[in-house]
């Protein structure tokens, strides 16, 4: 099988592991930078050029698309789809999951648990939002933030007012969520491949921090999901249409609450915590969906 990994850097852990896992199974694996792809559009002949060469005889693609380049990354994936190449993450699923507001709307309509959330078009102040999410402390998030960036915990109304005013001045759209105190600075990531939870970990925030992201210094440990947590994670990935997903949840008094469904979840944290060959399971998933 000729497999392409769409990634900005071949040296990234997730990219290297996918290359390793693919080659161990006897496949030809190549890493290409999706931002350097040219999308050629002609009648009944979609093509993709890369470094002055037309990409041909490609059997499958694993997109590793960063949030900052979602638009062009999705366009490249869509072109491969038009060329009848199997893509481990579909273009529409990527766009759906990257739109935080849309994803929360879809998840809520599927009956899945979420922190109480409100979105407003540049709200005048916190008093406009409190009736929907409850009193402080509150979590204020940039609508376009990733890896814990643009996420602020406000302990008082004055602090919330200041944060909202600052974001409004920057013309940055935000969502405001209730703070789940009983989560105690921890969240759960369930890693899903082809409708199966292949690994799960609990991430705990470092001292003095409420964000548990590993990029923010969080610590990961393996965890066994409850049946409710597993069912919630699987349903969330299904709603987003993702064959590969990292579903982030909080443990609360009212059951698992979904924070985010990640379309390009990193492999380093989950593989180190669980000691499971997640990259190999992704290659297995691709093998099951290609006729090579």
If you average pLDDT over every residue of the chain, what do you get? 92
Q: Residue 234: its pLDDT value, please?
A: 98
Instruction: Please report which residue ranges of the chain form alpha helices under DSSP H.
Output: 13-24, 70-82, 91-98, 100-109, 130-133, 157-169, 227-240, 268-274, 278-288
Q: How far, in Å, CA of 28 to CA of 40, rounded?
A: 24
Q: What is the pTM of this model?
A: 0.90
User: What's the CATH code of the domain at 61?
Assistant: 3.40.50.20
Domain finish residue from 179, 214, 229:
179
Number of domains in the chain: 3
Asked if 178 and 134 touch (Cβ cutoff 8 Å), the reply is yes
Contact 64, 37 (CB under 8 A): no
Q: Confidence band (pLDDT; 50, 70, 90) for 147?
A: low
Query: Does the pLDDT of residue 211 top 70, yes or no?
Result: no
> Domain check: are 199 and 160 in the same one?
no
pLDDT at 146 over 80: no
**Percent of the chain whose pLDDT exceeds 90:** 74
On the 0-12 / 13-18 / 19+ scale of CB atoms within 10 A, 38 is middle
Same domain, 192 and 170: no
Lowest mean pLDDT among 54-63, 166-175, 215-224: 215-224
Whether residue 247 contacts residue 168, with contact meaning beta carbons closer than 8 Å, is answered with no
Shared domain check, 190 and 140: no
The set of residues, in sequence order, having a beta carbon less than 8 Å from that of 119 and lying 6+ positions away, is 101, 143, 173, 174, 175, 176
pLDDT over 90 at 219, yes or no:
no
On whether residue 100 sits in a domain, the answer given is: no
**Number of Cα atoms under 13 Å in the Cβ half of residue 107:** 30
Domain, as residue range, for 123: 117-179
Which of these, 71, 114, 68, lies nearest to 94 by C-alpha position? 71
Do 10 and 53 fall into the same domain? yes
Residue 288: inside a domain: no
Inside any domain, residue 31: yes
Together in a domain, 29 and 48 = yes
Interval 256-269 mean pLDDT: 96
The reply to whether 174 and 216 lie within a common domain is no
**Greater confidence, 131 or 88?**
88
53 shares a domain with 23: yes
As a whole number, mean pLDDT of residues 212-235 equals 84
279 vs 21, 119, 131, 133, CA distance in Å?
6, 36, 44, 39
**Backbone region of residue 123 per phi and psi (left: phi > 0; alpha: psi in -120 to 50; beta: other values):** beta
pLDDT tier, 209 (very low <50, low <70, confident <90, very high otherwise): low
Give the count of alpha carbons within 13 A of 241, CB side only: 13
Let me know whether 20 and 59 are in one domain: yes
Cα separation, 86 vs 285, whole angstroms: 11
Q: Give how far the C-alpha of residue 95 lies from the chain's centroid of Cα atoms, to the nearest Å.
A: 11
Which residues on neighbouring strands pair with residue 47, listed in sequence order? 40
The mean pLDDT of 262-288, rounded to a whole number, is 96
When pLDDT is averaged across residues 60-81 and rounded to a whole number, the result is 96
- For residues 75-88, average pLDDT: 97
Strands 174-178 and 138-142: antiparallel
Mean pLDDT value of segment 168-181: 89
Confirm if 154 and 136 have CB atoms less than 8 A apart.
yes
Cα–Cα distance, 18 to 283 (Å, whole number): 7
Residues 2-55: pLDDT tens digits? 999 999 999 999 999 999 999 999 999 999 999 999 999 988 899 999 998 999
Q: What's residue 174's pLDDT?
A: 87
Give the three-class secondary structure for 272.
Answer: helix
Is position 153 within any domain? yes
Specify whether 10 is located in the same domain as 72: yes
The residue-averaged pLDDT of 55-72 equals 96
- Residue 258's pLDDT band, with cuts at 50, 70 and 90, is very high
Query: By percentage, how much of the chain surpasses pLDDT 70?
Result: 94
Q: Per-residue pLDDT averaged across 94-107, rounded?
A: 94
H or E element at residue 28: strand 28-32
- The pLDDT confidence band at residue 148, using thresholds 50, 70 and 90, is low
Residues 243, 244, 246, 251: what is their CA dihedral angle, to the nearest 10 degrees? Answer: 40
């Amino acid at each position: 099988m000729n497999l392409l990994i769409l990634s900005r850097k071949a040296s990234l852990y997730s990219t290297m592991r996918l290359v390793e896992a693919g080659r161990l199974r006897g496949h030809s694996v190549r890493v290409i930078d999706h931002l350097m792809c040219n999308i050629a559009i002609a009648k009944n002949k979609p093509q993709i050029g890369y470094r002055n060469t037309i990409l041909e005889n490609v059997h499958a693609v694993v997109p590793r698309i960063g949030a900052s380049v979602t638009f062009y990354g999705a366009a490249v994936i869509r072109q491969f789809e038009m060329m009848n190449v199997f893509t481990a993450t579909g273009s529409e699923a990527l766009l759906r999951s990257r739109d935080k507001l849309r994803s929360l709307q879809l998840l809520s309509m599927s009956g899945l648990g979420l922190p109480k959330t409100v979105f407003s078009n540049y709200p005048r102040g916190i008093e406009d939002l409190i009736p929907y999410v409850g009193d402080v402390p509150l979590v204020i998030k940039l609508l376009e933030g990733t890896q814990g960036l643009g996420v602020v915990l406000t302990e008082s109304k004055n602090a919330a007012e200041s944060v909202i005013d600052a974001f409004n001045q920057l013309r940055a759209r935000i969502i405001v969520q209730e703070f789940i105190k009983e989560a105690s600075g921890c969240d759960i990531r369930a890693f899903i491949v082809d409708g199966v939870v292949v690994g799960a970990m609990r991430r705990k925030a470092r001292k003095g921090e409420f964000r548990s992201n590993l990029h923010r210094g969080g610590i990961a440990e393996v965890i066994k999901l409850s049946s409710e947590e597993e069912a919630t994670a699987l349903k969330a990935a299904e709603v987003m249409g993702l064959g590969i997903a990292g579903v982030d949840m909080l443990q609360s008094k009212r059951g698992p609450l979904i924070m985010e469904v990640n379309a390009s979840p990193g492999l380093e944290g989950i593989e180190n915590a669980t000691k499971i060959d997640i990259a190999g399971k992704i290659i297995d998933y691709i093998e099951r969906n290609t006729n090579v």
